[in-house]
Amino acid sequence: MTLNMGPDTVPKRAAWAAIEGSLAMGQVTGWENGECDVEVYATESGDSVLRESLKLASVEELGVVLRRALNACE
């Protein structure tokens, strides 16, 4: 998993985690207002494994989302 931060010069700053596993890869993107998109796809077929948009209220909720995405990419 690699973590990236968007520039602080944009009005709606984002950070994202890119995840690569043996069978799937995906990305969790979070914005400073709590919005979060999760996308995980099977590596071989490109089929969607996990895809959702959420509104997070805490860092703990972000941790849960990251763990779900990591588990989906195993």
pLDDT of 74 over the 90 cut: no
Q: Whole-angstrom Cα distance, residue 27 to residue 63?
A: 14
Count Cα atoms within 13 angstroms, Cβ side, for 37: 9
Structurally, the chain folds into a number of domains equal to: 1
pLDDT of 4 over the 90 cut: yes
The residues, ordered by sequence, that sit 6+ positions from 74 with a Cβ below 8 Å of its Cβ are: 21, 22, 23, 24
The percentage of residues in the chain with a pLDDT greater than 70, rounded to a whole number, is 100
For the segment 25-42, what is each residue's pLDDT rounded down to a tens digit?
A: 999 999 999 999 999 999
